[in-house]
Amino acid sequence: MDLQEKCRELDVRLSALEKATVSGVPGMSIADRINALGDRVGFVGNNILDRIDRAVAELKTEMDGRFAQVDERFAQVDARFDHIDKRLDGHDARFDHIDGEIADIKSILVRIDAKLTDQQPN
């Protein structure tokens, strides 16, 4: 047998194998069965991707809701701090007023002290 005959014989055997039916699947060649399995794997893969996409969308929706809650809470905290700042500004104004009154009292006391020391005999 020469090389060409062996090649033709192998081609014939390969063609016969490709056309042969797969055990458990009558009337389907090996090539058709491989194609069918590839299609099935593709369908399963698409199904898994669809499930992942739905899960990601649900997670995104839930996270967006949580972030909205966090943003609302921060807005409430900011409003409380603004209120506290206003109250503290009011207290500062009161303390400034009290400091002014204390300064006035000190100046009155200094004048009284000066008058008293002037009136005391040496």
DSSP 8-state secondary structure symbol assigned to residue 29: E
Task: Report d(CA 74, CA 61) in Å as an integer.
Answer: 20
- Predicted local distance difference test score (pLDDT) of residue 90: 94
* E strands present in the chain: 21-22, 25-29
What percent of the chain lies above the pLDDT cut of 90? 60
CA atoms within 13 A on the CB side of 23: 0
Tell me the β-bridge partners of 22.
25
Nearest-5° angle of CA 47, CA 49, CA 55? 105
pTM here is 0.48
Domain spans in the chain, listed from the N-terminal domain onward:
17-119
CA distance 76 to 63: 20
**pLDDT digit string, tens, across residues 32-42:** 888 888 999 99
Q: pLDDT tens digits for 5-17?
A: 999 998 888 877 7
